[in-house]
Structure 1
Amino acid sequence: MTYQYKQTEKEHAFQTIAKDLKADKIGPVAALFGREQYLVNWSCEQIVDKYINPACKELDLSVLEGEKITIDAIKEACETFTMMSEKRIVIVRDFTLLEGTKMKGFSENQESELADYMKHVPEGCILIITANNADKRKRLFKSINENGQAYDFEALNEKALKSFVEKRFRSAGKVTKPSVINEFVQSSGYFHKEANYTLYNLENDIRKIIAYSEGEEILLSDVLATVSGNLETSVFAMLDAISIGRKNEAYILLNSLLSAGENLYMILSLIASQFEIILEVKEMLEEGKNQKQIQGILKIHEFRIKKAMSFAGRYSVNNLRKILTKVYEIDRSIKTGILEQNLALELFIAQI
């Protein structure tokens, strides 16, 4: 699944749930969903740590998933008395019914019965339902929201993401400069529309950087040596090299992508997508719009807007339209067999 980053000024769900947990306002039912499943799982762990006695974890914590999820199993788990914990916790994992997808074992009547049950979850229990997303039009979601809480774990904003990275480095006994964290965040792919890159991917890259670095300080060289970035980042770098006349570097980047087995049509699609954004940004800049206005119209992260603005300054509107026409022509030439794939892209680089 591909997610699009959505810039937001409101409090993030991980901050809200931390406050609710501290104030003892979680439950009796809560829906945890969204792009950042890393934070969904983190939140589940925080709730369990607060309310479950470690000595009684096997008795006071129930986790239902897959075919084990039935309405009878949910009710039975919720209505079992707690032993020595403050609360009983029942976690229903990856519950696609919350997403609006039909599930085996759940008829429409059973779905309605479950929605009604949200009003009757015992006070001594917290029922947690997790999913990748939620259909907020469904009666089940509305019932959870009315009788408990719903937390949508969207993408982090840039400030929170940098804080996340800095804390991970610090917990490993490492320090680094803000400029290095900024470079890592921007090259990671987290804010790229076409990339399915989440905090799980970021955490994995952080571990690689920590393992690679030798001293106490994380250096830029450590980041560059261990994080290859994603396809869109590489395409950005290739277009950047082209736009400033370093075509040899662009050829090297292209061959590196193709040698790594990247799909040629995906590369072409990304090139077209980037130039389409650059053209839109260029036209809006000429209309007198500023960065904030452009971002509001295009609904993409400011990182991409800034990149597009830097490219836009190097081309005229007519040039950008001609470049896009070439991209579309190359796509047709490859699909109709007029040009060999690698040669077609090399010609494109030579011509712009």
Structure 2
Amino acid sequence: MPIWRNIEKKQFSPIYLLYGTEAFLINETKQKLIHSVLTEEEMDFNYSVYDLEETPVETALEEAETFPFMGEKKLVILHNPVFLTAERSKDKVEHNVKKLEEYVADPAPYTILVLTAPYEKLDERKKITKLLKKNAEVMEANKLHDKELKTWLRARAAANEVQIDEEALEHFLIIAGTNLMMLASEMDKLSIYARDEQRITREIVDQLTARSLEQDIFALVDKVVTGKIEGAFRIYYDLLKLNEEPIKILAVIANQFRLIYQTKELSRKGYGQQQIAGFLKVHPFRVKLAIGQSKNFSDEQLAAIMGMLADSDLQMKTSGMAKPLIVEMFLFKLQSLIK
């Protein structure tokens, strides 16, 4: 990300606007700023944080306009500027947004002001939003699509002085999921393990990466689709050993097939991967995987599978049958259906 490169080079903007729903990216960028702008000794005197749901923006700006003490720069972070959105503020705090407009037009040269807005969209009609988009360094922190996610992971590996093979990277995303906090933690773990060879291979990914329930279910469905029913049951029994509830496993299987059905239908209507992800509000990489799986099913098969899942769910809730057996029966029926 260009904004990170400039921060690492200590090329700072007087104002940053970090907005979007990917909290991990916002927090990581904020941490990069903190560690790049201030030393540990300066933190006590030149670092301030304000929650704009509790504090008027003009109070925070008074701090921003005050000279730093025992340092060249000060860092002022403003959380939750709801006045940048079309939402009506529910709190009782009134903000002098005019004061912020004046500050954005002529910021203090010794202060770095950071606004973190955890909102999917800003109100582009508002004067303050337009001013920030024009004068601030802006980072939109929303869900990364496939290419961006891979670039981000390669950069994280490189920061740990290792490289990851393309096949290993693809496999890593399939089994680790799309939660950035989890991905960062797992990539750091792989990097430490591979530091001597400076290379992360698919074998290392397989050996060390923790799998999410959703990714285990994806692999389970994939095993059934490719006729590897023994592999599917092995995953299922492993999940039971990990004390995953059968009713939860069935629910995640249903979610996966619902996604497969929806992506197949939307693809037929001409929607692209990013459009489908936005419409269904799921990660673009999950959409990519679901599109790949959808090619193995006809419309009739998917309709039948959704019916089977509904029947299994009803059995879970109303029959006296052992719950693990209900999932087993569904898997056997699924195998027979797609042969």
Instruction: Calculate the TM-score normalised by the size of structure 1.
Output: 0.74
Matches within 5 A, 1:64-75: 64-65=50-51, 69-71=55-57, 73-75=59-61
How far off is 1:344 after superposition? Answer: 1.0
**How many Å separate the matches in 2 of 1:283 and 1:56?**
56
**Of 56, 62, 66, the match for 1:80:** 66
| Alpha carbons 1:60, 1:85 under 8 Å: kept | yes
Q: Partner residue of 1:330?
A: 312
Q: How much does 1:230 deviate?
A: 1.5
Match of 1:187 among 175, 193, 199: 175
1:10-25 residue pairs with structure 2 within 5 A? Answer: 14-15=1-2
Per the alignment, residue 41 of structure 1 pairs with 27
Residue 255 in 1 paired to residue 237 in 2? yes
Match of 2:337 in 1: none
Match of 2:128 among 121, 126, 143: 143
Residue 156 of structure 2, aligned match among 160, 168, 174: 168
The alpha-carbon deviation at position 103 of structure 1 amounts to 6.8
* Residues 65, 93 of structure 1: 8 Å contact kept: yes
Gaps of 5+ in 2: 335-339
Are 2:101 and 1:119 aligned? Answer: yes
Letter of the aligned partner of 1:160 in structure 2? E
Counting only pairs closer than 5 Å after superposition, residues 1-352 of structure 1 correspond to structure 2 as 14-15=1-2, 26-27=13-14, 29-47=15-33, 56-65=42-51, 69-71=55-57, 73-83=59-69, 87-93=73-79, 100=87, 102=89, 106-107=92-93, 110-111=94-95, 113=96, 115-121=97-103, 122-124=107-109, 125-133=111-119, 136-137=122-123, 143-147=128-132, 148-149=135-136, 150-190=138-178, 197-198=179-180, 200-213=181-194, 215-216=196-197, 217-282=199-264, 293-295=271-273, 298-299=276-277, 303-352=285-334
- Deviation >6 Å, runs of 4+: 19-25
- Of residues 78-87 and 319-328 in structure 1, the stretch that sits farther from structure 2 once superposed is 78-87
Structure 1: segments with no counterpart, 5+ residues: 1-13, 191-196
Q: Deviations over 1:153-178 (max 9, x none)?
A: 11233333323323333333333422
| Cα 1:309–1:127 shift into 2, 3 Å | closer
Name which of structure 1's ranges 262-271 and 174-183 shifts more when overlaid on structure 2: 262-271
Is the contact between residue 124 and residue 130 of structure 2 (CA under 8 Å) also seen in structure 1? no
**Distance (whole Å) between structure 2 residues aligned to residue 309 and residue 103 of structure 1:** 41
Q: CA deviation at 1:91?
A: 1.0
TM-score by length of 2: 0.77
In structure 2, relative to structure 1, the CA distance for the partners of 1:98 and 1:268 (3 Å cut) is farther
Secondary structure of the corresponding residue to residue 102 of structure 2: coil
Residues 53 and 84 in structure 1, CA contact (< 8 A), matched pair in contact too: no
> Deviation digits for residues 220-260 of structure 1, max 9, x if unmatched?
22211221221221111111111222222212211222332
| Equivalent position SS for 1:119 | helix
Instruction: Look up the match of 1:193.
Output: none
Work out whether residues 62 and 89 of structure 1, in 8 Å CA contact, stay in contact via their aligned partners in 2.
yes
Which protein has greater RCO, CA pairs closer than 8 Å, 6+ apart?
Answer: 1
Q: Once the two structures are aligned, what percentage of the paired residues are identical? A: 23
Amino acid at match of 1:257: L
Equivalent-residue separation in structure 2 for 1:66 and 1:75 (angstroms): 11
The answer to whether the 8 Å contact 2:162/2:195 transfers is no
CA distance in 2, matches of 1:324, 1:316: 12
Matched residue of 1:245: which SS? coil
The letter of the residue matching 1:209 is L
Q: 1:63 to 1:284 in 2, by over 3 A?
A: closer
SS of residue in 2 equivalent to 1:250: helix
1:318: Cα distance to partner? 1.6
Q: Determine if contact 1:69/1:92 at 8 Å carries over to the other structure.
A: no
CA 1:182–1:244 in structure 2 vs 1: closer, same or farther (change >3 Å)?
A: closer
**Root mean square deviation, CA, Å:** 3.7
Contact residue 62 and residue 91 of structure 1 kept, 8 A: yes
Instruction: Work out the CA distance in 2 between the residues paired with 1:133 and 1:186.
Output: 28
Aligned partners of 1:308 and 1:54: how far apart in 2? Answer: 47
Rounded Cα–Cα distance in structure 1 between residues aligned with 2:215 and 2:169: 16
Q: Aligned in 2, Cα 1:143/1:345: closer, same or farther, shift over 3 Å?
A: same
Aligned residues: 321
